[in-house]
Amino acid sequence: MHPKKPMLSVSRHGLRVLFANILAIYRRELQSYFTAPFYYVIAGVFWLLSGLFFLVVMTTIISQVAQQDLLQQQFGAPSQAIDVPKLILESFLGLLGSISQVILPMLSMGLYTEERKHGTLELLATSPITNWCVATGKLLAVLTFYTTLLLPVIIYQFVALQQSTPPLSPWLILAGNGGLILLAAAILSLGMFLSSLTDSTILAAILGFAVLLVLWVLDVLAKNTGGNLSDILSYLSPLEHFTHLTRGIFRSSSLVVFGSYIFLGIFLTAQSIDAFRYQRN
Amino acid sequence: MIQVEHLTKVYGTTVALRDVSFSAASGEILGLLGPNGAGKTTTMRILAGYLPATSGTAAIAGYEVHTDPMAVRQRIGYLPENPPLYTEMTVAGYLHFVARIKGVSAGDRPQRVEYALKSCGLWDQQQTIIRKLSKGYRQRVGIAQAIVHDPPAIILDEPTVGLDPRQIIEVRNLIKNLAGQHTVILSTHILAEVSMTCDRAVIINKGEVAGIGQLDELLQRLSSSYTYDLELVGDRSQIESLLQHLPHLQQMTWDSSTVQQRQQLRVSSPVEIGADLASLLVQNGVQLFEMRRSRANLEEVFLKLTTDEPVAEPSDAPEEAHA
């Protein structure tokens, strides 16, 4: 109604609208997870596998360490200090990362393909809401879902690993799981972009796995090449940064790299939705 | 309210719209009429800011769709060809969501949703999951979605397609009720729809405007001939030679079927010749039982406008006489 307003009030009002829009998309998206059986299946599989792996990792490592201890006692070799809970956490988070990499493309595959299939993208594109808001709201929603999956797993990590003497630092658990969430955010963001390219959910999932493969190859190359190239590749590899975080090594560059991947995904999504309208139907 | 000027849309090498111009006044219902594939949906999508035009401008409430897209989006309600529904939501939940992203303030939302539910006859279905609704009800939810934020301009792409006759009447009444406070532009390939709901119509064919105006006016201008159906008894050849004297006679056809020995004759002319025709026949002893004048009806005008022959301007309409 009033197109010309003082800059400040416009931007303040604009900011409020921006948040309200992101929130609207976020809530709708989250709501849709609760009504779809697919997401319950994903949650079930995730919890089953992660619980199983936790049990296996813990018993394997503890029995291995106990065996080693026994050997050392028998032969009188100098005993080596091993931080058992830290080792368990590190191995478990590595496995959790692998399970997540299977599940994440399945979470991101429907983000835009469903909108395109049902024509609701046309509603969003003709509403006073920017592509950025839509993409951000969607990413936050799917990330919330993933974090919800992770929550009970984090709790039993705390419960189990705090039992050791001395107890494992809670920061290690938080850093490792925080790294997992950041990694998930980066992968989901790229997956969201891929889902905006097509209206085939299956294709979006396949593309998602292909991107994971690329990230994995990047990681392998980073570990197996030498010199500057290795440094550059390991800096770019989100998996590498995740591994650091599971070991409790926190670098601000990790935040920058994860943030860049997340931003890249949202940016490309917004661009591709804009470009989509230039196509015929 | 809605101003479309010289819109052209090219997809690759196909021209979907060529130099389309029209306008709709505030509170008016404008029908966009044309056969399937004429460019109606493209026009609507450009108006809604969903598709960019290759050239030309379209403005809604003074805001141009390409340069001021957000201002336009705030002022339109748009029902695409397929209603954009989140089928896992309830009707009310969906409308609340749409109201939210359309920028309706939290305080006004319950009222606006209630209004949309009631005016689309969805009050009893508000807690129903959209997936479980029939096609007609889904279409209504689509319309409710377009009016929930009380936009000054409402764009409806084929709003009655796929509905049963009773639902069609309901939707038409709903659209008529929207006029006055809202400017409505709707597309259809059904002529009766325009004649029943719209104040004015734009006829689009193959991406070009074939005619704009009030329907009866369009009809008058575009129907180039008057047709008379006669039922009479008399000598065929005598009648034929008699009618040759009429100056504007265009065509004369005998119907093979005869009812009670009476012959059926159809005569057409670019001007009204009814009085002359009747007196000529009666004065010459032909028994005239029935004479009925019929103007080209809407369907005929529409077909004429949208078939391959070049559209006849009012001034050169009589050219058709040689056909």
Please report, in tens digits, the pLDDT of each residue of chain B (323 residues total): 899 999 999 988 888 999 999 999 999 999 998 888 888 999 999 999 888 999 999 999 999 999 998 999 999 999 998 899 999 999 999 999 999 999 999 999 999 999 999 988 899 999 999 999 988 889 999 999 999 999 999 999 998 887 888 888 888 888 888 888 899 999 988 877 888 888 899 988 888 888 888 877 776 666 666 788 888 888 888 888 888 888 888 778 888 776 677 888 888 887 788 888 888 888 888 888 888 887 656 666 667 666 654 444 443 333 333 33
Q: How far is A216 from chain B (nearest CA, A)?
A: 36
Strand-pair partners of B95: none
Contact: A123, B84; criterion CB under 8 Å: yes
Query: Is the bond leading into A170 cis (omega within 30 degrees of zero)?
Result: no
The first and second tokens of residue B103, run together, are 């920028």
Which residues are CB-neighbours of B320 under 8 A, at least 6 positions away?
B224, B225, B270, B312
Host H or E run for residue B70: helix B69-75
Host H or E run for residue A148: helix A131-161
Q: For helices A252-276 and A170-195, what crossing angle results, to 10°?
A: 20
Number of compact structural domains in chain A: 1
pLDDT for res B248 = 80
Task: Report yes or no: A191 and A104 within 8 Å, Cβ to Cβ.
Answer: yes
Give the residue from A26, A34, A127 with the most B CB atoms within 10 Å of its CB, the best one to mutate.
A127
Q: Which CATH number fits domain B2-221: 3.40.50.1370, 3.20.20.70, 3.40.190.10, 3.40.50.300?
A: 3.40.50.300
pLDDT for res B257 = 72
> Does A17 contact B at CB distance below 8 Å?
yes
Domain-embedded: residue A281: no
Per-residue pLDDT tens listing for chain A (281 residues)? 444 444 445 578 888 888 999 999 999 999 999 889 999 999 999 999 999 999 999 999 989 888 888 888 888 766 677 788 888 999 999 999 999 999 999 999 999 999 999 999 999 999 999 999 999 999 999 999 999 999 999 999 999 888 887 888 889 999 999 999 999 999 999 999 999 999 899 999 999 999 999 999 988 888 888 788 888 888 888 999 999 999 888 889 999 999 999 999 999 999 998 887 766 44
Structural domain that includes position A184: 7-276
Domain boundaries, chain B: 2-221, 225-295
Task: Report yes or no: A191 and A109 within 8 Å, Cβ to Cβ.
Answer: yes
pLDDT for res B295 = 62
Nearest CA in chain B to A123: B84
Which residues are CB-neighbours of B253 under 8 A, at least 6 positions away?
B265, B266
Domain-embedded: residue A60: yes
Buried b (16+ CB within 10 A) or exposed e, A160-191: bbeeeeeebeeebbebbbbbbbbbbbbbbbbb
Half-sphere exposure of A11 (CA within 13 A, CB side): 3
Please give the CATH number for the structural domain made up of B225-295.
3.30.70.260
Q: How far is A124 from chain B (nearest CA, A)?
A: 8
pLDDT for res A9 = 52
A126: nearest CB among B11, B48, B88: B48
Q: What's CA A90's distance to the chain center, in Å? A: 17
> Does B62 contact A at CB distance below 8 Å?
no
Instruction: List the one residue out of A267, A260, A237, A264 whose CA is nearest residue A97.
Output: A237
Residue type, B310: P
Contact: A127, B102; criterion CB under 8 Å: yes
A126: nearest CB among B49, B88, B103: B49
Instruction: List the one residue out of B86, B173, B200 whose CA is nearest residue B138.
Output: B86
pLDDT for res A3 = 46
Task: Report yes or no: B179 and B31 within 8 Å, Cβ to Cβ.
Answer: no
> Does B82 contact A at CB distance below 8 Å?
yes
